[in-house]
Structure 1
Amino acid sequence: MSVDLTVVVPAYNEERRLGPTLAALREHLELTDRGAWELIVVDDGSTDRTAEIAAEAAAADPRVQLLRGDRNRGKGHALRLGVLASYGRRVLITDADLAAPIEELDHLDKALTDGHAAAIGSRARPGASIGAHQHRLRELLGRTGNFLIRTVAVPGIRDTQCGFKLFDGDRAREAFAASRLRGWGIDVEILQYFRRAGWPVAEVPVRWSHQEGSKVRPLDYVRVLAELTALKARAVHRADILVGLLFLALSVTLYSGRWAAPASRYFPDSMQDQNQWEWFFAVTADNVRHLHNPLFTTLQNVPDGVNLMANTVMLGLSVPLAPVTWLLGPAVALNVAMTGGLAATAVSWYRLIRRRLVAHRGAAAVGAALATFAPPMVSHANAHPNFVVLFMIPLIVDRTLRLCAGTRVVRDGVLLGLFTTYQIFLGEEPLLLAALGILLFLLGYAAVRPQAAKAAWRPLLRGVGVALAVTVPLVAVPLYWQFFGPQSYKSVLHGENAGNGPLAFLSFAERSLAGSAESSDHLALNRTEQNAFFGWPLVALAFAIVVRLWERAAVKALAVTVLGAALLSLGREIRVPLTDVVLPGPWAALSGRPLFESVIEARVAMVCAPALGMLLALALARLAAAPRRAAYRYAGLTAVVLALLPILPAPLKAVDRAEVPPFVARGTWRGYVGEDETLVPVPVPDPANAEGLHWQTAAGLGFRIPGGYFNGPWGPDRVGIYGPSPRNTANLLRQVHDSGRVPEITPAWRAAVREDLRFWKAGVLVLAPQQNASALRTTLSALLGRPGKWVDGVWVWDVHRGK
């Protein structure tokens, strides 16, 4: 049957309006030259005379049809029945109230004649006219709901819910056949289908007038969002869920040693970082609870305090996890952040690899696992959540690549700005390294595809400009505080030997299956900074993949990314292994630049992990597409297994942590620390021994301490250092703790101690059992002129501000 136009009218309890509507439709179709037409009324289980009125119209004109539902299932179900029963080259759907008069069909028809696949009647486009308005509150709620829908689901279309739409018939039947929603959300579902298929959609301004008795309520917009959310959840493939659960299981296994008893287990390879990070989560939660400034605190480093924004407190996680910290403590909150964040990072890389590189889920999962659980990531998993909670980085990468396509520059730029803003509150150094990695990839891609680069650079720069316009106002105050606020500093120097040695890339990390402390410790700054250590089998496999897939532009760009990041990570000087030859390194060009001057250059090698994961995913996808019995398929899979097996991570080592002395745990300290006074742990806390921070968190941050573990300024040039500015007493007690030797106590030393205690506003000095505790006790007794007192498991000296 040849039909030029089908009109579909969904109807539910429309006995008062349906008759005049059908008459108006038939009259217009008869008077205008529309060719052969049909009119389908879908009764959605009405309980009034709707079906009878439609049946009478069908009896009077064979071009009118009635489809009846046995019960009310929703507008989406009715539209699906009507469209799938249609034969028209074009299909118009219109509500039974004719809020948009049928004469507006001419405008929609012209849009399809001009080449669009669908035309949407819009009340929001310039040129639209609105007759009778709804109640102001109802109209405001409706506009708000429509704004949320188009922002979340169909950006770029202002009026998704107008019930007057014209479609190309075949495409409409395909889209409605694939639809699943029964309610109002089907409008958005169909538009999403058209957009994914690349079928152009026009939004055409129309005349519209509110009709009394409208079935649409403001809460229906909420239902649309709920329907779309449920649809998206159902659309998740089971395999994707299993991949996510696998990543979570890997993350939990890695942290299993601490999950056994979070409050009493400690990662010794984190050195003092676990104490520091638990304190960061505790102080943020305390600031949130009491509405204090989250960017500064005087709980440690009394009296100067600590610039929290200039330290990586990860406000993007520590703030939302504040309730967990309040209820379960900072140790559990830190575990949740690191375990969940690592799994989320793997899922994020998996989605990026599937979207951008390979469709094969298994290949994408293996690539994402390497990107997330590579030896450098496992090394940082001991102590640095800011370097393992990287789930925003793949989103930033994807949005940058979308900008290169130039399709929706403003929207993608805004999202990139929001993503960047949030990442700043998760970790600025990882963001800088990610930007460096993206730049290496884009330069590599531009070198092999100059025409693509020529077309991409304008929308990319424009989108980056939009992103900066969004980001800068949102982070201006926190960044000003970070760089110019109290206790801010210029840069943190990490010494002359902060780069990777070339052999580190070929070696195995301490927590890798083939690694050991003996083979790795001398090649890294410490066990939290094993930033290379990919192992020679993986390096060899990556080289083979690049050679085999060299024809692909993405492979060449990824190879540039890996080589560029590896070379930069070698530092300002490259020492050739087994020789005395020292070559200048490319990092020398960046090391003194703003922002880069505080970066540990060895960490640039972490950029290699996702790039290698992507190369591996490409190779596995190629192998998966090979004939099952092909010899090279088995050889390739064997090579992948042999390359990954040596770097499989073992669970991180955990030990029982030092117990908090009863003096602190029982609250005895309250009788010794007056208002505005501090408790001084001995030795004074610093990056080498930050157990005092653990005491603070155990005491609910009830007292303040001098010293501590943080980044702060030192000297007139405000150079960044780890820990407090040096004080005589702190230095002396640290020397006694490390050496066990009691120094000669002179009047000058006693005067210096009195000055420091006044500076620290000290109320009590506390010496817990520890290494060389006897020498420390003797030294303090001589300095203070009296012996300490044993109270609840510690030696105490009640000093009351040095008096």
Structure 2
Amino acid sequence: MERAQDVETAGQAASAAGGVATEETTPTGVFGRPLHAPPRRPLPRIRFHRIDLLVATGYLALAATVLSGQWRDTDSGYLIKSGQDQTMWEWFFAVTAHSVATLRNPLGTDLQNFPAGVNMMANTASFGVGVPLTPVTLLFGPTVTFVLVLTLGLAGTAFAWYRLFSRELVDLRVAAGIGGLFCGFAPAMISHASAHPNFVVLALLPIIAGQLIRMARRALVRERIIDTARSAHDGAERQRGGVMSGWDRPRRRVRDAVALGLLVALQIALGEEPLLIFALAFGLFALVYYSHAPRTAGRVLRGITPTVALAGVITMMLTEIPLWWQFFGPQSYRSIDHGPMGNDVDALVQFPSESLGGVFSPGQNVAINPTEQNAYFGWPLLLLVVITVALLWRDRVVRAAGAVIAVFGVLSLGAVATIGKKSTGIELPWRWAEHVPLLNTVLETRLTMAAIPAIAAVLALATERAVTTWKQSAVDWKPLAWFGVLACALLPLTPTILPVTNRAPTPEFFADRTVRRYVTDGSVVMVPPPRPPDARALRWQADADFAFPLAGGYFVGPTGTTKKGIYGPDTRPTTALLVSAQDTGAVPPIDADTRMLALDDLRFWQADVLVLPATPNGDVLRETVTQLLGYAPTRVQDVWLWDVHPLR
């Protein structure tokens, strides 16, 4: 393993330079591991210990169990709590595969929101998994891709953090396994597993952290060796040059920069918001970790800055076109106004709904929606973490982790604190942070996800400390007490199987692609057009192999001249009219002005046909459209159809 090899190289270099291994001259570790620790048996990076494979299998089995309801029925099963997000994500995967298969630009498409289209880069399409899994999507359908990504995301994130903890934080694999388990299956992860692959596939974040930690360690060792060599005799100085050639050669720095640049670029292709939150949290962690030794921090910073700068250049080279498209391309937007999206204080101490604690001790529903239970750590775990951080405060990792938990927990509460959905009027730091560019696009409730690996690190360190104490004295009751308390804290957070319902089948008119006979170069206008509260038509379009573009849809795009982002398109008069008719169950008043607005909308959409499938208050909608157009529809298979070619 690289950590052991680094230690051996450092020792050889120090010896060659004439250094003496003392507390002051021996390089201190990064992320809690001293560089003078006894090296482990080096293993090639591509190999895994048998225990690692066992841990990975366990994580995968748990992830498959959590999503077993969806796995059992990938044809008509639908995760209940996803709202319309599962439909949206399946469409993202389907249209990405369609673009790749037909050699079209995947960064933008007019198959939704016709004719303006959708900026896919500005819509978290996760090309990092959508493009590689194109064969899966084409062979088995987007639902299989969706549930596969979620399953591998949960298990992969857990295992990646386990590997980081076992390599850089603790020696005890059980402790690392507990940390990885919490990182992969924390309440926020299970909540997002109903709808948001971009917040579930987070395995690259600990890999990026590991890369930065190794770079920092090598930079620190370089600085220490150079200092030692400067005080040594000339012969040692010459020897230092030979030893350092393997440690400090430019090729190594370039290799580090390329690896980091590739990792960050790939994470951008998976999800930018998690990367931003991670970067802020990791920066705070490092700041607190090195706060006791500013000179050491300066040495590390000097050592890694050139490499990080080169990695940034590489990342920009790899992502220049996609990022330009996202921020300046067609249908791009500058920011998005989410409104108040902070965590309720009660959300910090309650149990998540999809957990054993949520089943047996449900609390008030204070989440902004079922897929955003980003805190919900439960009071037993929070109490345990507070006490553990206090007891282990002298440990630098624990102090840094505690700072991340506290700072991001407060930021996640939003601009004004609320308790039980009632505003307290107390202004919080997010009131000022939300005006910072990029930060103003983040849902503040998601900032608590930065606390997940920090909590996991505290639990892992405390577990190793307990086992070490038990090995020293088998009659000591403290280790047993720790595991008992840990079980009481984590057991209520055990995830349950995510509930699934059956969705209605795709209308035959789309499923057998009869729609092709009625569409030329225009769009299909559903009655009413798809929108964020009802995006079913996106699935029907995918089932028809994207034989037609859709007016309306579910996406994020710009509105007005300010280019502020909103969910769905600007509401057209005809859309508002049809939605009102469906919601009220009554035909609205229709006059000449209403008909003129409808005609303008049809021309804007470049509509070929209006299609009314089976839907609530379908009779009211049919009568409304008939009065708007002045003629009755035709029944084609299982839909009503108005041919509006002559009106264009």
Query: Structure 2 length normalisation: TM-score?
Result: 0.87
SS in 2 for 1:679: strand
Which residue is equivalent to 1:385? 197
1:677 alignment partner, one of 522, 525, 545: 522
Q: 2:186 matched to which residue of 1?
A: 374
Against the structure 1 CA distance between its residues 193 and 342, is the aligned structure 2 distance closer, same or farther, given a 3 Å change threshold? Answer: closer
1:793 to 626, 638, 641: 638
On the 8 A contact 2:351/2:361 being kept in 1, the answer is no
Show the counterpart of 1:720: 565
1:235: how far off? 4.3
AA partner of residue 257 (structure 2): G
Retained in 1: the 8 A contact 2:346–2:419?
no
**Alignment-derived partner of residue 575 in structure 1:** 418
Deviations 1:543-573 (A, max 9, x none): 1211221121100000001001101111122
Cα distance in 2 for residues equivalent to 1:574 and 1:798: 54
Residue 349 (structure 1) aligns with: 161
Counterpart of 1:614 in structure 2 is 457
- Structure 1 equivalent of residue 386 of structure 2: 543
Deviations along 1:294-336, whole A, 9 cap, x unmatched?
1111101100011111111111110110111111111111222
Q: Which residue of structure 2 lines up, in the alignment, with residue 661 of structure 1?
A: 507
Q: Is the 8 A contact 2:416 2:424 kept in 1?
A: no
Larger radius of gyration: 1
2:338 paired residue number? 494
Deviation at 1:201, TM superposition (A): 8.3
Instruction: Give 2:60's match in structure 1, choosing from 248, 264, 281.
Output: 248
Q: Match of 1:436?
A: 280
Q: What residue identity is the alignment partner of 2:600? A: E
C-alpha distance in 1 between matches for 2:90 and 2:348: 32
1:65-464 equivalences in 2 (<5 Å): 197-198=8-9, 200=12, 232=44, 235-405=47-217, 406=219, 409-464=253-308
Report the secondary structure of 1:550's partner residue: coil
Q: Is the 8 A contact 1:372 1:610 kept in 2?
A: no
Counterpart of 1:425 in 2: which secondary structure? helix
**Contact 2:541-2:547 within 8 A present in 1 as well:** yes
Q: 519, 544, 558: which one pairs with 2:401?
A: 558
Q: Which amino acid aligns with 1:415?
A: A
**2:637 aligned with 1:637:** no
Higher relative contact order (CA 8 A, sep 6+): 2
Offset at 1:588?
A: 2.2
Secondary structure of 1:528 counterpart: coil
1:489 corresponds to which letter in structure 2? Y
Q: Residue 354 of structure 1: CA displacement?
A: 0.7
1:749 pairs, out of 594, 614, 630, with 594
Cα-to-partner distance string for 1:250-288 (whole Å, 9 max, x where unaligned):
111111111112121111211111111111111111111
Corresponding residue for 1:523? 366
Q: Which residue does 2:544 correspond to in 1?
A: 699
Where 1:523 maps in the other structure, the secondary structure is: coil
Q: 1:412, CA displacement in angstroms?
A: 2.5
* Cα displacement (A) at 1:579: 7.6
Aligned counterparts of 2:454 and 2:313: Cα–Cα separation in 1: 29
Give the direction of change, closer, same or farther, for the CA distance of 1:521–1:595 in structure 2 (3 Å limit).
farther
- For residue 494 of structure 2, what is the amino acid of its counterpart? L
In terms of mean alpha carbon deviation, does 578-587 or 613-622 score higher? 578-587
Q: Per-residue CA shift, 1:387-415, capped at 9, x if unaligned? A: 00001100111122223221555433332
Which residue of the other structure, out of 465, 473, 484, is the alignment partner of 2:309? 465
Structure 1: any 5+ residue segments left out of the alignment?
A: 1-152, 155-191, 203-230
In structure 2, distance between residues paired with 1:399 and 1:367 = 19
Q: 1:554 to 1:409 in 2, by over 3 A?
A: farther
Q: 1:770 aligns with which of 601, 615, 618?
A: 615
Q: Is the 8 A contact 1:521 1:527 kept in 2?
A: no
User: Cα distance, 1:380 vs. partner?
Assistant: 0.7
CA contact (8 A) 1:576 1:582 kept: no
Structure 2 CA distance for partners of 1:518 and 1:294, relative to 1, 3 Å: farther
| CA gap 1:581/1:285 in 2 versus in 1, 3 angstroms | closer
Match of 2:533 among 688, 710, 732: 688
Q: Which residue of 2 aligns with 1:71?
A: none
Structure 1 counterpart SS, 2:291: helix
Which SS does the other structure have where 1:640 is aligned?
helix
The one-character-per-residue Cα deviations of 1:655-703 (angstroms, maximum 9, x if unpaired) are 1112101111122212222x21212222101111100100011111111
1:709-757: CA deviation from partner (whole Å, max 9, x where unpaired): 1110000111101111221111111222222222111111111111111
Report SS of the residue matched to 1:515: helix
Give the paired residue count: 584
Q: Report the CA distance between 1:463 and its aligned residue.
A: 2.9
Note if contact 1:758-1:801 (Cα within 8 Å) is conserved in structure 2: no
Across the aligned residues of Structure 1 and Structure 2, the Cα RMSD in angstroms comes to: 2.1
Return 5+ residue gaps in structure 2 as ranges: 15-42, 223-251
Verify the 8 A CA contact 2:344 2:421 in the aligned structure 1: no
SS at match of 2:469: coil
Counterpart of 1:743, as a letter, is: P
In the alignment, residue 317 of structure 2 is paired with which amino acid? P
Paired residues of 2:417 and 2:423 also in contact (CA < 8 A): no
- Structure (1/2) with the larger helix percentage: 2
Shift of 1:467: 1.6
Post-superposition Cα deviations, 1:493-545, rounded to whole Å, max 9, x if no partner, equal 101x2111111100111112111599556311100111110000000111121
Contact 2:154–2:189 (Cα < 8 Å) also in 1: no
2:325 equivalent to 1:481? yes
Distance 1:194 1:371 in 2: 28
Deviation at 1:620, TM superposition (A): 1.1
**Identity of aligned pairs, percent?**
43
